[in-house]
Structure 1
Amino acid sequence: MRQDWQRLQKHSAQVADQKLVASGTQLYQRWITCQEKKDTSYIKLLHWLGQYHYSKREFSEAVNWYSKALKESRQGPIPAYLLAQSMFMLGSSQMFNGEADPAISTLSQIISLAPANAGVHLSAYAYLAWLYYVKGDYNKTIELSDKGLQLVAHLKAPEKAAMLLREKANALLALRKFKEAGITIKEAITHSNTSGDHLQLSKYYLLLGDVEATLANAPATLAAYQKALKYCRGDASLEATILTNIGFFYYENEEYPKAIAYNQHALALQTNPYSRAQLFDNLGACWWKVGKFDQAISDYQRGLQSLPIGFTGKSMLDNPPPKSIRQVLRRQVLLTLILDKAETWLDYYKTSENKHHLEQALNTYKLASEMVDLMRWDHTDDQVKLFWRKKTRKLYQQAIETSYLLGDAKQAFYFFEKSKAVMLADKLNELGARQRLSESQQRAEKGIQERIGNLQKELAQQRTGQAGYQPIQQQLEREQLNLTTFRKGLENTNPAYYQYKYDNSVPTLDTLQKWLRRHSASFVSYFVDITNLYILAVTADTAQLFRKPVHQYQVALAALTPLLTKSAPTKQDYRNVLLYGNQLYQELVDPLHLSTKSVIVSTDGFLQPLELLSRSATQEDFLVRHYAFSYAYSANLLLKKSDRQVSARKDFLGLAPVRYHSALNQVTLAGSDDTLKAISRLFNSATVLTGPEAIKSNFLKEFSGYQVIQFLTHADADSLGREPVLYFADAALPLSQLQRTDSLNAELVVLSACKTGIGANQEGEGVFSLARGFAMLGIPSIVTTLWSVQDNATYRITHLFHKYLVDGLPKDKALQQAKLDYLNSASPEEAYPTLWAAYILLGDTDPLILSDSGSSWITVAFVFVIFSSLAGFIFWRRGRRSQSEKASVKQTLAATLVALVRFTGF
């Protein structure tokens, strides 16, 4: 057999000869039939057969042969370089066959091995970087490119360095880091000049032209594109790509006739289905901009037909199904076609006023939203998710505008929900999904996570290039791959886990209205874009959608905001608070004609608490006197009921460090311990950690067993992206550490500390605050603060809030009444909103149902009262009593039963 392979190998240059390949296939069959030893010659035969199909672009067949090669490479004593080669050829075949996830899995295994073949290793890094780029995971692309570049630094391989730099520059460009992208691609050009590969050099100049175009440097852009054309040496597909990008440059500069000419020239040369789809999209966009809407939509349809998704719809009304997004490798091409088509329909309506065009726009935006949901499943990194949330913000803005023009509040509600806190919903879905795992599965996942955490710590202590660095890095990559494989396996074997984790649904408007009816509440959602403020007001019976110019709102908000952070406000400041608060009231609340006393608000980014807005511009008439406000990240999260398995809990855990370790640089909070002890006496079962007992380790040990957790301490956050932290007596608890916890079972967390509701405003997702960190753990209700608060006011309002909670009031009304009590007893100086309006309630408003720690004596009292009442009733029935005596006994019995009901809560 081996001699036959050697004879065949002599003719390997003729691999395209079908007769020769047929001989190779027969040799493979004989090898199997004769049960010959499957050694290196056998593996090389499989590679040879795979290479034939690979060269013919028959990637499915290539995957078949390389899969066999990899299987045998793993089973026998095969040289490490051959195993890596089997993996690489299989991974690259899967990649070109459109199998992104299998390709990533296969290629990732290469880089987790010791680099037996440096060239294969580096190519694996480059291909992986590209795969993550087309999936939209740009940070992962940069990470992989940098790891490959660390390896290439020890080798003389300028062509590999250039490839890796190109992938990194592509990702930097996508992240709009234009200057860094320019530096990186110029470095790639330097390496490519060294290697002498002109075809690759053409690709690098093409990317340089793209970078210069984003910097609005027209001469440099065109010069780079011309060099790219010079070096492409007649490669028709590459030439077509260069012409496409020149056409896009002219489109961006509104030179539409030139753009159309270049795109049509490129279309005549281009054969790649994705590139052809992109060209049709570019042509459609040009026709759209010159007002030829039918021609534009026709070209979008041709673009959709070009993609390998099996779409054949020729009518302008036809759209592919949402799942098509998962069938394509370059998903952004499909999504861009759909978004451009939707926006063209919207502009078509504005010209024609044909409502049918508007309806088509809405249907297409809904399809785009569903596609974005499906894309999000492939993104594991939060920074990537945030990037795409920001990138798709325009989708929701235009969809809401379309809904407004149609007068369709129901559809507007859908897009309002899709525009808010989707990542937070994903985290809660993941939390719920994990609870559907068996104990052994949870232990296995936790074990991998712990190993990853330990390896990350070890790696952080090593310097790049040290002897111990690379083995730890490779082990870390293996464990990360194990975690991905483990979770993918769960999705296939545990339907409940899969369904819960990837639940993208939002509640219907009818569902929300039924909930509002039960709670006698209204729901108000805001969406702010560059020119308009949209307000959706929902009650049990109505849904109204408003649109207002955003300017007046922005002016009033900008004037009011700095007044709320003044430590020593003047009388003029107070008058200005009323003035600007009234202006915001006119913009945000007055048009809604709210008919309920409980109002739930879903904000868009930063929004001052509505409680401090005033119905009068000249005298105090704060809205807190008229409504009990609470806040929700979205209606979806408000209605999502936690089904965590909660063990028996105590009522209350309170923490007040009072004094802090000197390294924390926090001032003493005198009196916070006394306030906490007073609050704890309101509850039947309470634990109080004050002074030196209020340390981080005690909190992490205690916190899982309580229904209410109260912090009287310091916190720190800002709007610049610095990680929010919560302070204990000995240390700070960062938000990231809090998010690694999954055993917090509290129903309510009260953050009586400064700025616990402040954080970086991530466009399209919301404010990343300490409060949000607790929400990510599934805490249904959180009281948080929006700015620095004053100690005495904090103590009074916090104590009053808990008093009304224990009395049985809903959480929103308890906080409202606490503020009203404070205001009603406050001096004019103490009534300034800075002191009382910072506290807001996020989430569920239902009353607390506290534990019955005194149940034994309550039971005795219950039996005694029932027995006494029954005895009295019998005595009354049997004895001869006057009517007045009977009435007196009857009243006593009724009063006793009422008192019993109130006492026990039955």
Structure 2
Amino acid sequence: MVSCLLLLPAFFSLARQYQFSNYRQQFNKAIALYNNPSPTPESDSVALQLFTACANSALAARKDYKLAVESLIKAGNIHQTYQRYSQSNQMYHHALSINSRYLRHKALRYEACLYIGSSFYFSNTMDSARHYFEMASSMASGPESATLPEQERLFNSLGAIYFESANYQQAKNYFERALQALQQGAEGYEELYVSIRSNIANCLLRMNQYNEALFIYKSLARYSINKEIILQNTAHTYFRLGHYDSALALYNQLPGKEGLNHVKALNDLGRIYIQKGHWQLAENYFDSAIAVVRKIQYPAKNKEAALALLYRSELARRQGLAEEAIGWCNRALEEVHLDFTLKNRFDIPADVSKAVSHITLFEILQAKASLLFNRYKVTGSRDMLDASVECFLKAIQTAGYIKRSFDNDEARIFFNEQYRQIYSRAVEAAFTASENNPAVINKLLYIIENYKGNALYQNLRSIELKSSAKIPGSIKVKERYTKQLLALYTSRLSSTSETDAAGLQAKILQLQVELSRIQKLYEKDPGYSFFLSEVNSPAGMVKQLQHEIDDNTALLNYYAGDSVMYVVAINKGKAVARKINMDAAFTRAVKLFLEETYSLQEGRRYNGYASAAQLYQSLFNPVNSITANSENLVIVPDGMLNYLPFDALVTDEKQRHYLLLDKTISYHYSFALLLQKSTLQAGGKNKAIVFAPYVAPDAATAGTGLPGLPFSASGLDTAGKWILKSAEATRQSFVENAPAYKLVHLATHASMGTENSTGNWIQFYPADSMNINNRLYLHEIYNLNLHQTELVILSACETAGGANSSGEGLLSLSRAFMYAGSDGVISTLWKTEDRVAALLMQRVHYYLQQKIPPQKALRLAKIDLLNDDKLSVLYKTPNYWGNFVYAGKQHYQSGITLRKYAWFGIFLLALSIWWIVRKRVVQLLK
């Protein structure tokens, strides 16, 4: 008996060894089937059973957790292959749980996150897909990242996620990063190469770079892999180019009859036949597309089916069937939204976040809104008009939701440019509704504000939220360092050889992807994630603005349509919306006025008074009830008005009476920025710093080819300023010192020389022969920390000028300093004359020392120039002084509004009366 008991431990040990050997054998058999180059459903089924049994046995033995996790991941992959996404997700989650509890194996966690992200992606659960892909991506950025498998698939998948969210530039970055990670000669190299290159071309196509996309597709045609997809994408490119016959010829070569790619082809064919006027053929193709989707995924919601229904709506509209077109739009809304059920034809989804594709939801909403607005124009029905406005508002809310998900300004600006016509249509509808209903002005303003200054506002809001986000300090340092490197490499692109440019582009790409990863870490913070998902209401904005301004201020927000200009004007007690016809006479007046003011040709007589008077009548007469009694005007311009110096307009042509003499004019990019209250802007600890590198030209400055500016620091040597002249005024001294000052003045040269802004700079003293070490480039200004700076003065040439961007105004050096956090900027729209600039800046500083707000200080300085008997009359026309403008925060004198002054006065009066009465009572009592 004793001997038998002694044998029991040995027996159990042998049993465990046999069990381990058994599930290891199961795993090896399963792997052999899994890696079979020609698998069948039967072989996959056997492999799945073996992987599952192996995982269960390993877990039961509590021995080889690594083998269990590997088995579960492989089992999940087999389920995913057969679109059993629920089962695959269970396997991946189980694998993650075991790994987290027992192993903490980075590579296995990476794989599980990668594959579960893929599973969610293919089941159209995009938020979850993105979450897990980003988890995998964060692991792929560490020192051990080189050992992690399938990074090319990860970056390709992330690119697809960004593509679906309409962030095409960032999607292209990820696809190119995937291409870098792809190892030549690796298993499946050719298939992945073709797929990734095709995806890059898809991004170029969406960014309207048709020829570049076509070049890539044609270069991929020689591969035997994915020939149908390449052929279809080439056909789609021809369709986008309007080459319908070429597109049809290629589509007719496609053999595929099932799958979502076939649905896309059917939708394109239907749209081609719409353009050709073949209504029945178009209808047949759209119906076929819907039928194929239903066969594949019914009853799941699907973007391609929603698009087919949207195109059916367009077909009905073309046929003059307005009510039917609205009906198709409603069906499309039900298809694209996860929980929307139509009860009334005017119904729209409540929650814009719940969509299988937000960009598709946006397009459907705007299509329905346009149809309703067109019906209003025919029927005159107020219900139609109101429903149209509400639908447009929901579309604009969706657009805002989309743009907040973007992690770069380029994507936001491109979105505005791409969909400008939709915003214009929405503004037209809201303005029409506001004519008989002043309450709708809030909605009109909401649409305009969601279009204008959006990138600048979101950046400043983002910086503030990031400052308080509960993120490790090392991440914030890494973000700052990455941004600085990105700005440096971007700036070097404009002055490097073609050979070096390729290397710089590769570095820029990696940094852009790294910044995207860091951004996702911030988005995990509750406050930051709330900002991204919040949906602002159009209600109450007018009252909020009226609460913020004083009795002496009026706000004017212009929006330039195709042939009309809209303006929303607000003062303390009233708000109006007006329309200005941009007819040939108006456009000609703008052109003539700008030609005159922007010209500094010596000896040429200024002749802009007639056009200035005409523009004053056009722009201010419609809103005279708002502006007449307001001395301070804050203007948010748009379109061609971005180039306009408003204070150079004349109220009386014969008297040549400038608006400058009656009004203090300042500018901003949006009303939202006016309302923005930042906790970061506390005011620098020092008063003022001035940089004047060209005040005394020497051999070093002459070597730059830029002229001296002998008057640039004239009259600025007053108390409270640190003036750095000549060799003291280096780029390095600016970067080190400027952030600590309330006022920063750059009296030097600047350039807005390139269209893409990489070569735009501010010049400092040339400490060495390398231009890049002596200039501050636009991208570097964006990354400065000027949140303690109340005012930046840029008295160099054209610092307020730049490319006119949809919704963002002029992409100028001035805007870059506001982007960096400065409260306001005084800058120039065109070239300056050194003596005039010196006189104006001397007077501006004088008034600033008297605690006068910068917008008024600039106005008073200009009036002093006009009244200066010592200055030649040649320098007193607007082409010499009108270029100086102030944009930014509104500063009321001494920080107290007039209303506060009034209440303070009443308080003092009451106190005086009380004191007199008390004194008399005391005397009587005696």
TM bin (shorter chain)? 0.7 to 0.9
1:817 aligns with 2:843: no
- 1:770 aligned residue: 813
Structure 2: which amino acid aligns with 1:382? D
Q: Which of 165, 169, 175 lines up with 2:207 in the alignment?
A: 175
Say which SS state the counterpart of residue 758 (structure 1) adopts.
Answer: coil
Selected match of 1:580 from 584, 588, 611:
611
- The answer to whether the 8 Å contact 1:189/1:204 transfers is yes
Q: 1:445 aligns with which of 454, 476, 489?
A: 476
Pick from 64, 78, 89 the counterpart of residue 63 of structure 1: 89
User: Contact 1:775–1:782 (CA<8 Å) still a contact in 2?
Assistant: yes
Change (3 A) 1:72 1:354: same
Contact 1:267–1:276 under 8 Å retained in 2: yes
SS at match of 1:653: strand
* Aligned equivalent of 2:271: 248
- Residues 1:830 and 2:875 are matched in the alignment: yes
Q: How far has the Cα of 1:219 moved from its partner? A: 2.1
Deviations 1:33-92 (A, max 9, x none): 32131244x344313431343244232331231244456678999999977754543331
SS at match of 1:419: coil
- Whole-angstrom distance in 1 between the partners of 2:819 and 2:272: 43
- TM-score scaled by structure 2? 0.82
The answer to whether the 8 A contact 1:715-1:756 is kept is: yes
In the other structure, the counterpart of 1:262 is 285
Selected match of 2:712 from 656, 672, 679: 672
Deviation (angstroms), 1:127: 2.7
Residue 324 (structure 1) aligned with residue 358 (structure 2): no
C-alpha distance after superposition, 1:295-321 (max 9, x if no partner)? 112112212222361222242122112
Code of the aligned partner of 1:342: A
* Residue from 836, 839, 843 that aligns with 2:884: 839
Match of 1:304 in 2: 333
Residue 24 (structure 2) pairs with residue 2 (structure 1): yes
1:484 shift after superposition: 3.7
Q: Which aligned pairs between 1:308-707 and structure 2 lie closer than 5 A?
A: 309-325=338-354, 327-328=355-356, 330-407=357-434, 408-437=440-469, 441-450=472-481, 480=515, 483-489=518-524, 491-492=525-526, 495=527, 497-499=528-530, 505=536, 508-516=541-549, 518-551=550-583, 552-568=585-601, 573-575=605-607, 577-593=608-624, 594-595=627-628, 596-605=630-639, 606-644=642-680, 646=682, 649-657=685-693, 658=695, 659=697, 661-677=701-717, 680-681=718-719, 685-707=720-742
1:50 aligns with 2:76: yes
Distance 2:500 2:789 in 1: 46
Contact 1:609 1:838 in 2 (8 A): yes
Deviates more, 1:474-483 or 1:784-793: 474-483
Q: Does residue 741 of structure 1 match 2:781?
A: no
Q: Which secondary structure does the structure 2 equivalent of 1:357 belong to?
A: helix
SS in structure 2 opposite 1:312? Answer: coil
For residue 817 of structure 1, what is the amino acid of its counterpart?
Answer: L
After superposition, the CA RMSD in angstroms is 3.6
Go from structure 1 to structure 2 and tell me whether the alpha carbon gap of 1:241 and 1:31 turns closer, same or farther (over 3 Å shift): same
Please point out which of 139, 142, 146 is paired with 2:169: 139
Q: Distance in 2 between matches of 1:470 and 1:430?
A: 27
Q: Aligned partners of 1:608, 1:217: CA distance in 2, in Å?
A: 40
Partners in 2 of 1:72 and 1:474 — Cα distance? 36
Per-residue deviation at 1:837? 0.8
Distance in 1 between residues matched to 2:623 and 2:482, nearest whole Å = 54
CA distance in structure 1 between the aligned counterparts of 2:32 and 2:857, rounded to whole angstroms: 87
Q: Which residue of 1 aligns with 2:756?
A: 721
| Superposition deviation, residue 423 in structure 1 | 0.7
Secondary structure, aligned partner of 2:559: strand
Contact 2:683 2:790 in 1 (8 A): no
TM-score between the two structures when normalised by the length of structure 1: 0.83
Give 1:895's aligned residue.
none
Query: Is contact 1:278–1:333 with CA below 8 Å preserved after alignment?
Result: yes
Which position in structure 2 is the counterpart of 1:779? 822
Checking the alignment, whether the CA contact within 8 Å between 1:462 and 1:469 is kept in structure 2 is no
1:188–1:540 Cα change, 3 Å: same
Query: In 2, distance between residues paired with 1:472 and 1:845?
Result: 41
Q: Partner residue of 1:805? A: 848
The amino acid of 1:748's aligned partner reads L
- 8 Å CA contact 2:680–2:787 kept in 1: the answer is no
Report how far residue 223 of structure 1 moved. Answer: 0.5
* Number of residue pairs matched by the alignment: 824
Change (3 A) 1:442 1:564: farther
8 Å contact 1:789–1:834 — kept in the other structure? no
- Note if contact 2:523-2:529 (Cα within 8 Å) is conserved in structure 1: no
Identity fraction in percent: 20
Distance across 2 between alignment mates of 1:334 and 1:411: 20
Q: Secondary structure at the match of 2:468?
A: coil
Is the CA contact (8 Å cut-off) linking 1:87 and 1:106 kept in structure 2?
Answer: yes
Once residues 441 and 617 of structure 2 are traced to their aligned partners in structure 1, the CA distance between those partners, rounded to angstroms, is: 22
1:193-220 Cα offsets, whole Å, 9 max, x none, are: 3x4xxxx322222211111122222221
Q: 1:296 to 1:103 in 2, by over 3 A?
A: farther
Q: Deviations over 1:710-757 (max 9, x none)?
A: 222222215733343222223211122122222541212222121110
Q: Distance in 2 between matches of 1:617 and 1:31?
A: 92
Matches within 5 A, 1:835-874: 835-847=880-892
Per-residue displacement from partner, 1:168-188 (whole Å, max 9, x unpaired)?
111111000010111111222
**Retained in 2: the 8 A contact 1:719–1:758?**
no
Asked whether the 8 Å contact 1:50–1:65 carries over to 2, the reply is yes
Q: For the residues of structure 1 that align with 2:480 and 2:846, how far apart are their CA atoms? A: 42
Listed one character per residue, the Cα deviations across residues 621-667 of structure 1 (whole Å, up to 9, x for unaligned) are: 21112211111111111122332263762322222221363453321
Deviations 1:665-721 (A, max 9, x none): 3211113233221xx24xxx3222122212222222222332222222222215733
Whether the 8 Å contact between 2:669 and 2:808 is mirrored in structure 1 is no
Counterpart secondary structure, 2:874: coil
After TM superposition, the structure 1 = structure 2 runs for residues 18-97 of structure 1, keeping only pairs within 5 Å, are 25=52, 28-40=55-67, 42-69=68-95, 86-97=112-123
Amino acid at match of 1:155: G
AA aligned opposite 1:207: N
Q: Quick check: 1:73–1:86 contact (8 Å CA) kept in 2?
A: no
**Structure-1 separation of matches of 2:510 and 2:592:** 55
How far apart are residue 566 of structure 1 and its match? 2.0
**Distance in 2 of aligned mates of 1:770 and 1:455:** 18
In the alignment, the residues of structure 1 paired with residue 190 and residue 472 of structure 2 have an alpha-carbon distance, to the nearest angstrom, of 46
Q: In the alignment, is the contact (CA less than 8 A) between 2:748 and 2:764 conserved in 1?
A: yes
* Shift in alpha-carbon separation, 1:341–1:455, aligned structure 2, 3 A: closer
For 1:218, the equivalent position in structure 2 comes to 244
CA drift at 1:279: 0.6
The equivalent of 2:14 in structure 1 is none
Q: Is the 8 A contact 2:133 2:154 kept in 1?
A: no
More divergent stretch after superposition (770-779 vs 721-730): 721-730
Taking the aligned partners of 2:103 and 2:851, their CA distance within structure 1 comes to 73
Query: Do 2:568 and 2:576's aligned partners in 1 also have CA atoms closer than 8 Å?
Result: yes
- Tell me if the contact between 2:359 and 2:402 (Cα under 8 Å) persists in the aligned partners: no
Asked whether the 8 Å contact 1:243–1:263 carries over to 2, the reply is yes
Structure 1 unaligned spans of 5+: 851-876, 878-906
